[in-house]
Amino acid sequence: MNSSESPLAIVVIGASGDLAQRKIMPALFSLFARDLLPSEFAVYGFARSAMDDDTFRESLAGSLACRYTPASDCESRKRKFLEHCRYTQGQYDEAADYLELYRALRRMFPGEHPNILYYLAIPPSVFLQCARALGDSGMTQCGDSPFWMRAVIEKPFGHDRRSSDRLVSELATVFRETDTYRIDHYLGKEIVQNLLVLRFANSVFEPLWNRDTIERIDIDWRETYGVKNRASYFDRYGIIRDVVQNHLLQIVALIGMEQPAGRTPDRIRDAKVSLLRAVNPATPDSVRLGQYTAGEQAGLPRRGYRDEDGVPAGSTTPTYARVALTLNHPRWHGVPFVINAGKAMDADRTEIRIVFREPATPWCDREGSCGPANCLIIRVQPNEAIRLRVVTKEPGMTQRTVPTDLQLVYGEAFPQTIPEAYERLLLDVIHGDKSLFIRKDELAAAWDVFTPLLDHLKKHNPEPEPYPFGSDGPR
């Protein structure tokens, strides 16, 4: 029997939280709706909040969306999914509470022992207590049994290289590295998955993908909202740890890496690690930091970061960072990878721009206009698209040149619904495919890029540059 067809229990620890309710449970529902979960499965929510099965189901119902189910079947499909969902109230550091959950789970699957997927959707402050208690309960050891137990660990994985190493080694006493899935949900985004295909399956790009033809690479990430209800987490981490060191550095790795020696998860991750090790550590003079102040968005007044609930007075935590990374790598010598990331900005957008050099002998029109340099724009979200900006002769009785786009717009080219990142990644965990998860040496290499800078910022605590909510960052 294929392991993905064996009975499956999914234990979502922190099931009352934002991530569980907004992303994990809807993704599980989508997998169910597409018949991608085993026929025998159950989802166990675990958290401290007082709920029974019914109130847990009610709390989930509103966030499930029928992305793959016709509207006429939607409600009955949701009901069927919710019948598989159960809830156990408990303390994260109490082995006995996990044992109670385990007993319930065994009652549910009296025959074949199910595979168990643990999803740790809890704040980093309770991570280790939870893992230790799970370990003490004996629920993470399956030895040579035919079933598996896998753990999905959410970022942040520590707050610098040292704490990350500690976390990795402490968690390793509970979950084996082979069973540990460190999730970075940007790796599950459709366009991010396409980066290696675009580069290595198309012979037009690879010969150009180097310092001779590429001048710079911009990775632009912006959100229109501030820290919402996550201020206490965000204030301790800041934008560099929140998205730059992980999501955006992963994009750098996929854009910059050499072709892997094979398609296996380890060969792909070997290639990423070797690129990450070639990134020079970010330095204080390569970074600009900002923090949003009061502003306006869609005609509504918005509070500044320091006035958000849960942000300590006078906090200097950056909500914006612009970091220019350089690589000690023959392919990329002298080519900056510029990451621009900000909350409370003017748009919701993640975009990669590969800016090519201008022709050695420019081809200008009779009016002296030479057109902009070529640029490959990869729009990760929203509205996934790939555009190549080229200079074209304007049609008609003219020799004027104009910039135009050759473009692939996903919404037009592909009729199918594009899966959410968490759908794809959860399915990969069930299938035991780790290609899109972060290996521990990869994590260490990613922290090495930012730890010296983060140490410097901690010591000197510079005042970030202000920018108004809804703007495009510091002037």
Per CB under 6 A, residues contacting ligand BG6 are 185, 223, 242-243
Instruction: Tell me, residue by residue from 134 to 163, as one string, x for binding to ligand NDP by CB under 6 A and - for no binding.
Output: --------------------xxx-------
Our finding on whether 121 is near ligand NDP (CB under 6 A) is: yes
Nearest distance from C-beta of residue 159 to ligand NDP, angstroms: 11
Residue 242 contact partner, candidates ligand NDP, ligand BG6, none, CB within 5 to 8 A by sort of partner: ligand BG6
Angle of helix 265-278 relative to helix 440-460, nearest 10 degrees, comes to 30
Is the backbone peptide bond immediately before 382 cis, with ω within 30 degrees of 0? yes
Please provide the DSSP assignment of 78-146 as one string.
Answer: HHHHHHTEEEEE--TT-HHHHHHHHHHHHHHS-SSPPEEEEEE-S-HHHHHHHHHHHHHTTTT--TT-S
Phi-psi region of 49 (alpha: psi -120 to 50; beta: other; left: phi over 0): beta
Q: Select 186 or 305, whichever has its Cβ closest to ligand NDP.
A: 186
Residue 427 contact partner, candidates ligand NDP, ligand BG6, none, CB within 5 to 8 A by sort of partner: none
Of the candidate residues 52, 55, 58, 125, the single one contacting ligand NDP (CB under 6 A): 125
Q: Which stretch binds ligand NDP (CB under 6 A): 44-52, 285-293, 304-312, 401-409?
A: 44-52
Measured between alpha carbons, how far is 204 from 207 in angstroms, rounded to an integer? 7
Number of residues that bind ligand NDP (CB under 6 A): 20
Nearest-CA neighbor of 223 among 337, 378, 380? 380
Our finding on whether 48 is near ligand NDP (CB under 6 A) is: yes
Q: Which stretch binds ligand NDP (CB under 6 A): 41-49, 277-285, 314-322, 453-461?
A: 41-49
Nearest distance from C-beta of residue 223 to ligand BG6, angstroms: 6
Out of 84, 247, 329, 456, which one is annotated catalytic? Answer: 247
Bridge partner residues of 292 (DSSP): 467
Say how many C-beta atoms besides its own lie within 10 A of residue 444's C-beta. Answer: 19
Nearest-CA neighbor of 245 among 306, 172, 308, 186? 186
Q: State yes or no: is 431 an active-site residue.
A: no
Nearest distance from C-beta of residue 227 to ligand NDP, angstroms: 11
Contact 266, 441 (CB under 8 A): no
Our finding on whether 114 is near ligand NDP (CB under 6 A) is: no
Residue 243 contact partner, candidates ligand NDP, ligand BG6, none, CB within 5 to 8 A by sort of partner: ligand BG6
Nearest-CA neighbor of 235 among 296, 319, 174? 319
* Chain residue whose CB lies nearest ligand BG6: 242
* Half-sphere exposure of residue 192: CA atoms within 13 angstroms, side-chain side: 27
Q: Select 74 or 126, whichever has its Cβ closest to ligand NDP.
A: 126
**Burial classification of residue 136, based on how many CB atoms lie within 10 Å of its CB (0-12 exposed, 13-18 middle, 19 or more buried):** middle
Our finding on whether 17 is near ligand NDP (CB under 6 A) is: yes
Element (H, E) at 44: strand 41-47
Contact 255, 195 (CB under 8 A): yes
Residue 449 contact partner, candidates ligand BG6, ligand NDP, none, CB within 5 to 8 A by sort of partner: none
**Burial classification of residue 230, based on how many CB atoms lie within 10 Å of its CB (0-12 exposed, 13-18 middle, 19 or more buried):** middle
Q: Select 182 or 185, whichever has its Cβ closest to ligand BG6.
A: 185
Q: Select 243 or 388, whichever has its Cβ closest to ligand BG6.
A: 243
Q: Select 191 or 271, whichever has its Cβ closest to ligand BG6.
A: 191
Q: Which residues are catalytic?
A: 247
- Interaction site with ligand NDP (CB under 6 A): 14, 16-20, 47-49, 92, 121-126, 154-156, 233
